[in-house]
Amino acid sequence: MSLATTGRALSAEQLQSYHENGFLIVRGLFDADEVASLGSEATTLFGRSELIDTQNIRCRWQNHADTDECRFDCFDPVIDIGPVCRYFAYDRRLLDVLRAIYDDEAHLFKDKLIFKPPLATGYALHQDFIGWKEFPESFITVIVPLDETTAANGATEVFPGYHKQGYLSPRDGEYHQLADDKIDFSTGVLLEMQPGDVALFGGFTPHRSGANRTDQWRRQLYLSYNAGRDGGEQRDAHYRQFHDWLTKKYAEYGKTGVWFK
Ligand SMILES: O=C(O)CCC(=O)C(=O)O
């Protein structure tokens, strides 16, 4: 039995490693049958064709790596349509790991389910923090993989230590990719995991991912939190702000009449 499933959520070494590197993998936090339920729910959600619509701002899209066809990739948010996703988001074992890092209670801030089907492109280098005055600096994302994650299927790659430099882009309220010359790519660590493992990384930790070059999905649940002392409960307020921002961004690109369902 790992420390994560006993009274103390993280060992001193794990805590030190998180703070030093800006990320941590905790192995075997969840049981295989729990993750299997998440997999079944993901299959059901992928079939919700009434939701998967380019006008629905719950949906995110990625191009096919070879043909550039734009395909559905992610529900953001997801816990309001996925009770199993919700179960994981508020799971005490996970909240205890976060509590150990924060030395404070964790509050769910954001939740999304990325499907990354075969031949979906990956994500360019970025930090999750956005320069909105309300955005919590204590932002931590927990990745819960539903499938084994590998280099071949586009596992997320993090760059240790850079979180100590804080936000590397202008705090202008825009989303920014990071220029390649900001990072030494040879230091990258692939978050290779089995279902049941989780990875945590902070909002200032640069990360990216490659395309899924296999014939299987690479599905991951992303649960993001803030510390209680850093704004307390603010998920609803965040999604109101995020939806206003998205609606404005789409309008700037000429896309109007979007909705949320
Ligand atoms: O799913 C991935 O490969 C990376 C996703 C990511 O970086 C993000 O959603 O911020």
Distance CA 221, CA 42 (A): 9
**Do the Cβ atoms of 98 and 144 come closer than 8 Å?**
no
pLDDT at 106 > cutoff 60: yes
- Structural domains of the chain, ranges and CATH numbers in brackets: 3-252 (2.60.120.620)
Q: What is the dihedral of CA 235, 227, 86, 121, to 10 degrees?
A: 80
Q: What is the pLDDT of residue 8?
A: 74
Provide the mean pLDDT of the chain.
96
pLDDT at 4 > cutoff 70: no
pLDDT digits (tens, 9 = 90+) for 194-240: 999 999 999 999 999 999 999 999 999 999 999 999 999 999 999 99
Average pLDDT (55-71) is 97
Q: Measured on CA atoms in the order 26, 29, 31, 36, is the torsion positive or negative? A: negative
* Predicted structure pTM score: 0.95
Q: Token pair for residue 220? A: 């991951």
Q: Is 246 exposed, middle or buried (0-12, 13-18, 19+ CB in 10 A)?
A: middle
Residue 216: strand, helix, or coil: coil
Cα(154) to centroid of ligand 1, in Å? 10
Detail the DSSP E strand segments found in the chain: 23-26, 59-63, 70-75, 106-114, 140-145, 156-158, 189-190, 198-202, 207-209, 220-227
Residue bearing the CA closest to ligand 1, atom 10:
128
Q: How distant, in Å, are the alpha carbons of 3, 86, 103, 110, 167 from that of 140?
A: 20, 17, 13, 10, 14
156 lines ligand 1 (CB under 6 A): yes
DSSP 152: T
121 lines ligand 1 (CB under 6 A): no
pLDDT at 5 > cutoff 60: no
pLDDT digits (tens, 9 = 90+) for 148-192: 999 999 999 999 999 999 999 999 999 999 999 999 999 999 999
Q: Is 199 exposed, middle or buried (0-12, 13-18, 19+ CB in 10 A)?
A: buried
219 lines ligand 1 (CB under 6 A): no
Q: How distant, in Å, are the alpha carbons of 22, 124, 199 from that of 252?
A: 35, 22, 35
Q: Measured on CA atoms in the order 28, 18, 80, 43, is the torsion positive or negative? A: negative
Query: What percent of the chain clears pLDDT 70, i.e. is strictly above it?
Result: 97
pLDDT at 2 > cutoff 60: no
Bridge partner residues of 59 (DSSP): 75
Cα 200 off chain centre by: 9
The atom number, within ligand 1, closest to the CA of 154 reads: 3
Please give the backbone phi and psi of residue 130, each rounded to the nearest 5 degrees, phi first: -125, 140
Query: What percent of the chain clears pLDDT 90, i.e. is strictly above it?
Result: 97
Cα(40) to centroid of ligand 1, in Å? 21
Q: How many CB atoms lie within 10 A of CB 243?
A: 16
The atom number, within ligand 1, closest to the CA of 128 reads: 10
218 lines ligand 1 (CB under 6 A): no
Average pLDDT (104-115) is 98
Q: How many CB atoms lie within 10 A of CB 254?
A: 6
Average pLDDT (105-112) is 98
